[in-house]
Amino acid sequence: MNMNRNKCFFSLLFTVLLPRAALESSHSLALVSTFIKGHTPFPEFSFILMLDDITVGYFDSEKKVYVPRGLDNTEEEDGVVDPSLVKTITSYMHADLEHRYNYVTYDLNLTEYIHVQQRLVMCELMDNDRPGSMTIKNAFEGSTKDEMRLYENKFTYVNGLNFTTEILQPRLELSKWRHETLYYPACIRTLRGYLKKRRQQVKRKVKPRVRLIQKKRSVSGWDGVSCLATGFYPRHINLTILRDGEPVPELLTTGGELLPNGDGTYQMRKNLELSGEDLKQSVFTCSVTHLGLDNKLDVHLEFVPGEPIQLVVIPVLAAVLLVCVVCMVGAGICVMRKHRRKQRAQSMYSAASSTEESETSLDASEN
């Protein structure tokens, strides 16, 4: 039960905190931490470490040991993660989240039975092995509250918790120094180490299965079309619904969220709501580009303009009627055969009875 809860919880972290997609030529290392106050089956502090979208390690405040994840029996990762660095970072992060809990609870008066904070720390490595940005997001109550970003020696901060200047200024100065001198270099160094050790996992490609589905409201109308791509890896994908060869504006579609499957692949769905008349007068296409595909994949859904729904319904009804007639005829034949067998049996029984009576009369006359 606890394992299922953990999976659901980290899936929530993945969808809420991680960016929707990174550049195809970049790689990322993300530390996703969780701080919980209240009576739950979870440790008070824990984190998972993710290389792109692959979980490579886990730590919690109960075991206090960093545990590699996703390795087979032939792999080892000695030297990738520095144990002393893990101890330093986790100690600071745990204390910082505890401090934020006290501020939220007492200064903002947000008292709840169970308090959950989430933090994302992520760095990127661009093409040509060039370090990219480092991003830190803090969230509770299911949404991001404040965000820090370090890129090209520029440190920016968005305050969503209404920290006062007296509280915020010294914390920002200390945080900026720690990220520039400790966390950012360590994150990039660890990311490079993981890219060497997990090269085969990172370069895995699985092409998507794509369907363009007609969504029916009733036998006389439609809700629209739904474009589904599933079973693909890596997570970067471009999915577009075309109407008569032209992209449908994103404002007219719903969905588009990237969701994880249970087997380590991903799925994405986009929906377009239309009337039945609009749907029949146009040609719709689901267009997909992905690293697992050699070329762009187009899946079509076509309608003949003006074709009435009765042309589809009438053959179906005729087929159903034919089946019913065949069943009725077959049942009638079975009844007739049964009736004939019964009559034949009765005739044979009558003949046998008459013969027996004749023989009995003959024997009586002879005596």
**Residues 254, 260: contact at Cβ < 8 Å?**
no
- Residue 176 and residue 272 in one domain: no
In terms of DSSP H, where are the helices of 216-309? 276-280
- Residue 83 and residue 99 in one domain: yes
In a domain, 40, yes or no: yes
Residue 26 has pLDDT above 50, yes or no: yes
Number of Cβ atoms within 10 Å of the Cβ of 165? 9
- Residue 159 and residue 288 in one domain: no
| CATH number for the domain harbouring residue 139 | 3.30.500.10
In a domain, 355, yes or no: no
Going by C-alpha positions, the residue among 81, 95, 82, 86 that lies closest to residue 64 is: 86
**Residues 265, 232: contact at Cβ < 8 Å?**
yes
CA distance 203 to 225: 33
* Residue that terminates a domain, selected from 252, 282, 301: 301
- Residue 179 and residue 261 in one domain: no
The pLDDT-based confidence of 19 (bands split at 50, 70, 90) is very low
DSSP three-state, residue 23: coil
Containing domain of residue 24, as a range?
Answer: 2-202
The pLDDT-based confidence of 189 (bands split at 50, 70, 90) is very high
Q: Give the pLDDT score at 77.
A: 73
- Residue 10 and residue 142 in one domain: yes
DSSP three-state, residue 88: helix
Q: Six-digit token pair at 16?
A: 């809420």
**Residues 151, 188: contact at Cβ < 8 Å?**
no
Q: Give the pLDDT score at 9.
A: 45
Burial of 96 (0-12, 13-18, 19+ CB in 10 A): middle
In a domain, 218, yes or no: yes
In terms of DSSP H, where are the helices of the chain? 2-17, 83-102, 165-178, 184-197, 199-202, 276-280, 310-366
CA distance 234 to 243: 27
Mean predicted lDDT score pLDDT of the chain: 77
In a domain, 193, yes or no: yes
pLDDT per position as a tens digit, 79-131: 788 888 888 888 888 988 888 888 777 766 666 678 888 999 999 998 788 99
- Residue 154 and residue 238 in one domain: no
208 secondary structure, DSSP code: P
- Residue 146 and residue 293 in one domain: no
In a domain, 326, yes or no: no
CA distance 202 to 299: 28
| CATH number for the domain harbouring residue 260 | 2.60.40.10
First CA to last CA distance, the chain: 97
pTM for this structure? Answer: 0.63
Provide mean pLDDT across the span 222-248. 90
* Residue that terminates a domain, selected from 257, 281, 301: 301
- Residue 180 and residue 281 in one domain: no
pLDDT per position as a tens digit, 155-188: 888 877 667 777 777 778 888 888 888 889 999 9
What DSSP assignment string belongs to 109-171?
----SSEEEEEEEEEEE-GGG-EEEEEEEEEETTEEEEEEEEETTEEEEE--S---HHHHHHH
CA dihedral for 332, 336, 341, 342, sign (positive or negative): positive
Amino acid of residue 238: N
Least confident of 72-76, 206-210, 232-236: 72-76
